């Protein structure tokens, strides 16, 4: 595990042709993707943003432009390294695309590794060169050996010893096309309002009975409207059927607020392998259930759930 300080180069010079608008300005969770990236590296020694000039960067953040403009990621890396001359003093530098909604997790992963020429996050067996940590001297030497204008990151990486670092699937997913923003609005816009509930004194047998329906991934224990526990199949194990189900569940990590950004929550659920989150208000009252579809590309709706229940209830 590495706790060494680092600088950061944030690449924000792409032309976003497939998305149709500057991806760095896409807003998720009340902040643009660029703002989210800068927040994730706010504890870095020196931060450089490479891209068109902006007047909304935090104090102390440097900015520069790749040459030529739109010259690609290697040109951006070279420009960022040049801007760090005489400014950055860390041995390591993070190189980050500006379009990863879960960039906070990306940076947290990169903080734990170092000591190599290049550490690239590996997501679904794919190396991510713009979610990476480099030794500055090694990166400078490699960049000096390629033509920055239009060179591929593969050419740059071929001059380095690359160490992969595996992360949960979806951690590095970016925003490249309009359909990469699968859902819009807040969690409140997507919750199922009438999920199955269990009373506070429900036993394990009752909890298991709900899980007979393979669409049920979480049992919600509610006491006079207040959510007291979320119980998963894995919680039950070999527990005695007469045991109190609520004692086997928990709330931590299993709830979400109605005002949270739905797309950010969707991406976190995909990365965490979570299909259900209980939606609760500030007073702890249950508002509904957020149900990630099997595809991971959206959420179940009240209408869809009711239609399935009618089909299940129809005589065979």
Same domain, 166 and 195: no
* pLDDT of the residue at 1: 47
In a domain, 41, yes or no: yes
**Which of 158, 177, 196 represents a domain boundary (last residue)?**
177
Where does the chain have alpha helices with state H? 33-40, 73-84, 103-111, 136-144, 153-157, 204-210, 233-236, 262-272, 302-313
| 264 φ, ψ (degrees, to nearest 5) | -65, -45
- The DSSP code for 285 is B
In a domain, 165, yes or no: yes
In a domain, 69, yes or no: yes
Can you tell me the distance from the alpha carbon of 137 to that of 49, in angstroms, rounded to the nearest whole number? 20
Same domain, 81 and 27: yes
Domain that holds residue 43: 6-177
In a domain, 1, yes or no: no
Cα radius of gyration (the chain): 23
Neighbours of 305 (CB within 10 A): 17
* pLDDT of the residue at 59: 95
The CATH number assigned to the domain holding 152 equals 3.90.550.10
In a domain, 251, yes or no: yes
In a domain, 281, yes or no: yes
Same domain, 28 and 161: yes
Q: Would you state the structure tokens that stand for residue 96, as one six-digit string?
A: 């980050």
Residue 169 Cα distances to 126, 166, 211, 233, angstroms: 10, 9, 26, 22
Can you tell me the distance from the alpha carbon of 179 to that of 137, in angstroms, rounded to the nearest whole number? 39
* pLDDT of the residue at 2: 55
* pLDDT of the residue at 3: 65
Same domain, 161 and 286: no
Same domain, 142 and 26: yes
**Which of 140, 158, 177 represents a domain boundary (last residue)?**
177
Can you tell me the distance from the alpha carbon of 82 to that of 75, in angstroms, rounded to the nearest whole number? 11
Same domain, 48 and 172: yes
In a domain, 182, yes or no: no
Structural domain total, the chain: 2
Can you tell me the distance from the alpha carbon of 293 to that of 276, in angstroms, rounded to the nearest whole number? 9
User: Rounded to 10 degrees, what is the CA torsion of 169, 114, 112, 170?
Assistant: -10
First to last CA, the chain: 57
Which pLDDT tens digit goes with each residue over 210-228? 999 988 999 999 999 999 9
Does residue 189 sit in helix, strand or coil? helix
* pLDDT of the residue at 89: 84
Can you tell me the distance from the alpha carbon of 16 to that of 23, in angstroms, rounded to the nearest whole number? 6
Report yes or no: 293 and 299 within 8 Å, Cβ to Cβ. Answer: yes
How far is residue 103 CA from its own chain's centroid?
6
The CATH number assigned to the domain holding 276 equals 3.10.580.10
Same domain, 218 and 134: no
* pLDDT of the residue at 171: 97
Same domain, 62 and 90: yes
Same domain, 302 and 193: yes
Same domain, 114 and 137: yes
* pLDDT of the residue at 316: 62
Same domain, 136 and 254: no
Q: pLDDT tens per residue, the chain (316 residues)?
A: 456 899 999 999 876 777 878 899 999 999 999 999 999 999 999 999 999 999 999 999 999 999 988 889 999 999 999 999 988 789 999 999 999 999 999 999 999 997 889 999 999 999 999 999 999 999 999 999 998 887 899 999 999 999 999 999 999 999 998 888 888 899 999 999 999 999 999 999 999 999 999 889 999 999 999 999 999 999 999 999 999 999 999 999 999 999 999 999 999 999 999 999 999 999 999 999 999 999 999 999 888 777 766 777 767 6
In a domain, 173, yes or no: yes
Report yes or no: 38 and 58 within 8 Å, Cβ to Cβ. Answer: yes
Same domain, 170 and 191: no
**Which of 177, 206, 226 represents a domain boundary (last residue)?**
177
């Amino acid at each position: 595990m590495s706790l060494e300080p680092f600088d950061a180069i944030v690449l924000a010079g792409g032309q976003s042709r497939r998305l149709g608008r500057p991806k760095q300005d896409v807003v998720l969770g009340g902040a643009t993707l660029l703002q989210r990236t800068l927040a994730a590296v706010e504890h870095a020694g020196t931060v450089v943003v490479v891209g068109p000039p902006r007047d909304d960067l935090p104090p102390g953040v440097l900015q520069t432009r790749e040459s030529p403009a739109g010259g690609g990621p290697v040109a951006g890396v070279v420009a960022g390294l040049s801007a760090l001359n005489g400014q950055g003093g860390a041995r390591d530098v993070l190189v980050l695309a500006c379009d990863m909604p879960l960039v906070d997790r990306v940076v947290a992963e990169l903080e734990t590794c170092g000591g190599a020429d290049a550490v690239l996050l590996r997501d679904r067996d794919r190396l991510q060169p713009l979610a990476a940590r480099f030794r500055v001297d090694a990166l400078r030497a490699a960049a000096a050996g390629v033509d920055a204008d239009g060179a591929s990151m593969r050419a740059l990486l071929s001059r380095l010893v690359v160490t992969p670092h595996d992360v949960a699937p979806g951690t590095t997913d970016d925003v490249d096309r309009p359909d990469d923003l699968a859902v819009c609005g807040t969690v409140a816009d997507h919750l199922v309002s009438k999920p199955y509930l269990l009373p506070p004194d429900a036993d394990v047998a009752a909890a298991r009975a709900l899980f007979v329906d393979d669409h049920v991934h979480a049992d919600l224990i509610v006491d006079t409207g207040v959510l007291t526990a979320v119980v998963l199949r894995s919680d039950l194990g070999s527990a005695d059927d007469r045991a109190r189900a609520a004692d086997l569940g928990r709330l931590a990590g299993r709830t979400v607020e109605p005002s949270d950004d739905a797309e950010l929550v969707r991406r976190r659920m995909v990365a965490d392998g979570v299909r259900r989150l209980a939606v609760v208000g500030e007073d702890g009252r249950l508002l509904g259930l957020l149900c990630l579809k099997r595809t991971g590309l959206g959420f179940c709706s009240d209408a869809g759930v009711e239609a399935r229940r009618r089909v299940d209830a129809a005589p065979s």
